[in-house]
Amino acid sequence: MSIEIFAEIDSWKEARILVKEIYKLTSHGKIEKDFGFKDQLQRASVSIMSNIAEGFDSGSKKSFISFLNYAYRSASEVHSLLYIALDIDYISKEQFNELMQRIELIKKLIGGFIKYLKRSDYKPPY
């Protein structure tokens, strides 16, 4: 594996796009005024990319895998929150579907990366 910095990790790149989409989504409409929900959705999305970055720089394969598991769970939290947003008419079905596709991709990438790390002789870059 020749990744030198966390920003090269595909799941981190996709999570970064998701964060931007979530912040755009929460900057207008009914969701903008629901500060608790808005905050939870934003924080969960940021947590995905933050945990990937922290894991990469954690210094061990075991720790990296743990952080990737946290990132996966944060993606699941966003996944669940988006169902709520749809159910209470904060987002349209189209917005929901687009965001779900990104969440599913992120979870697939994280899951695949975890499997790769478990069976590889990966060592942290420092």
For 15-34, b/e burial (b = at least 16 CB within 10 A) is bbebbeebeebbeeeebeeb
Contact 10, 109 (CB under 8 A): yes
Q: Write the DSSP string, 15-82.
A: HHHHHHHHHHHTTSSHHHH-HHHHHHHHHHHHHHHHHHHHHHTSSSHHHHHHHHHHHHHHHHHHHHHH
Residue 82 has pLDDT above 70, yes or no: yes
State pLDDT tens for residues 85-118.
999 999 999 999 999 999 999 999 999 999 999 9
3 state DSSP class of 13: helix
Specify the pLDDT at position 18.
98
Radius of gyration of the chain (CA): 15
Residue 125 has pLDDT above 80, yes or no: no
Specify the pLDDT at position 57.
93
Residue 88, both tokens = 């209470």
- Report phi then psi at 89, rounded to 5: 60, 35
Specify the pLDDT at position 1.
55
Specify the pLDDT at position 98.
97
- Report phi then psi at 17, rounded to 5: -65, -45
Domain ranges of the chain: 7-119
Residue 8 has pLDDT above 80, yes or no: yes
pTM: 0.94
State pLDDT tens for residues 35-72.
999 999 999 999 999 999 999 999 899 999 999 999 99
Q: Which CATH class is domain 7-119?
A: mainly alpha
